[in-house]
Structure 1
Amino acid sequence: MKKYIGTKTVQAMPAVRKGGKICMPGDENPKSLDPVEDGYMVVYEDGYESWSPKEVFEKAYRIAETAVDRMHIEWNELAEKLGNLNAFIESKSKKLPTTIQAMLHAQNAVMQDYMNVLALRTTLMETGEGGFSGLSFAVAITLLERGFVIRRQGWNGKDIVVFKQVLAQINGAIIPKMQSLPYRAKELIMSGEAHIDYTSQCLIYNRKTGRADSWVPSISDVFAKDWELVVE
């Protein structure tokens, strides 16, 4: 036989059962010597209704009424899966081909990043407080690529930030007026293609002084896990 995993979404509310009768909240319990059983009245996706004992129901289902509820469920499921993955990597992965080992470690890192983002988002939605920090370089690069401003918590001062310049083409009508280019560079450009294509480059910018320099991450930046989003 093969192993299967089932997933289904139901609606439910607490209900007791006594003497075979299901009583919803507010109902009067039947007057009998039968024991009262705590449980839930369950409505399945196809409209079928049934009663489930409390322990059985709560073991199988988690409340998912709000986005925060669903994020808690997802985080807990990921934590269990990550624990299993870590155990497998430690105990059995060394016998596997190198490519598979690399994939397992990459999966581990991506899952940790995702869990961190999910936890930060959950906290912000629950409390209205908290930022987007403690990020790996992998997440930081994604934010840069998509137009957000970032910095490292370990940098001196909060005024130093990094952002990626927007792709742009500077045509021949603008180049002669550019203050950022020396005269000989303008001549050289105008004698050739007469345009500049700005591609992938990042600036490190000091908000206090207005100074901007081209930025290339150092090796410590690459392995740091203290990146954060700058919003103000």
Structure 2
Amino acid sequence: MKTYIGTKIIQAEPAFRIDGKIYPESGPVPRSMNREEGYRVQYPDGYESWSPKDVFERAYLPLTVNPDLRTDAPSISRQMVDDFILETWTQTMGDKTTVVRALLRNGFEIVESSACVSAENYDEKLGREICLGKIKDKVWFLLGFLLQTAVHGVKKAENDAKPTGGVSFGLALEAMKKGKGARLPRWKPDVVIWAQYPNKHSKMTAPYLYVESLYGRVPWKETMIELFSEDWEIVEG
């Protein structure tokens, strides 16, 4: 047999299992000497199961919604980044370099350094802040990768994948002319291209395409790879 790794996004709540039946912690729970502490787990397809507390908490990370975003869609928050850093150590090397080693909750370690030009200006506290900023950026990236996999899964290799049923850019453009949007499957779900036609309030004098995402709208700057792609998806307006 082969060994596999993976991740998924699920819903769960603390619960007790008594004689094979699951009782959510938030509701009435019968008194029993045989109750097991754990979680009631619900998967995206509606299937429910039971997981012992220690097994569940080793496998799943609580998802805290980022309050700075406009939706409650799955996202990484600053609190999640801070909480994922278990411990840090700081030391000065030489007379002007700070090194910070961070241990993450999964046992992975990140090491960053910061140095100044003149030893007379060296400040370990400032160096530590700079290093922690770099470390948190990496943790944010890693948690984002984890969440992306949990939400969208892992696609098969190109030579194993089934046909996507996508269309060429030419057909996608025709759809955009009719008020529909278009996107490529490898883009983030919120990224869609739309066509804009000038009106009396517009500074543009000719039709153009723009990209809409969670961050707003910007003119689309196409690449040759995108123009020659045959897997464009049409998005209803």
TM bin, normalised by shorter chain, reads 0.3 to 0.5
Larger strand fraction of residues:
2
More helix by share: 1
Larger Cα-atom Rg: 1
Q: TM-score, normalised by structure 2?
A: 0.32
The structure whose RCO (Cα within 8 Å, separation 6+) is larger is 1
Superposition TM-score, scaled by structure 1 size: 0.32
